[in-house]
Amino acid sequence: MFRVTADSLDAYLDFDPARKPDLVRLHEVMRKAAPNLKRHFHKGTPAGQAGMRMQMIGYGKFRYAIKSGSATDWPVVGVALQKNYVSVYVAVTKQDAPIVQAYAGKLGELRSGRNNFSFERFDGLNASALSSLVSEVAAIFTADPENPVRYMQGA
pLDDT one-digit tens code per residue, 17-36? 999 999 999 999 999 999 99
**Chain centroid offset of residue 102 CA:** 16
Question: Which domain range does residue 101 map to?
Answer: 9-154
Residue 133 lies in a domain: yes
Query: Is 42 within 8 Å of 58 (Cβ atoms)?
Result: yes
CA distance linking residue 30 with residue 131, whole number of Å: 7
Q: Is pTM beyond 0.85 here?
A: yes
- Would residue 33 count as lying in a domain? yes
Residue numbers of the chain with a pLDDT score lower than 50: none
**Nearest by Cα to 62 from 150, 136, 125, 127:** 150
Number of domains in the chain: 1
In a domain, 43, yes or no: yes
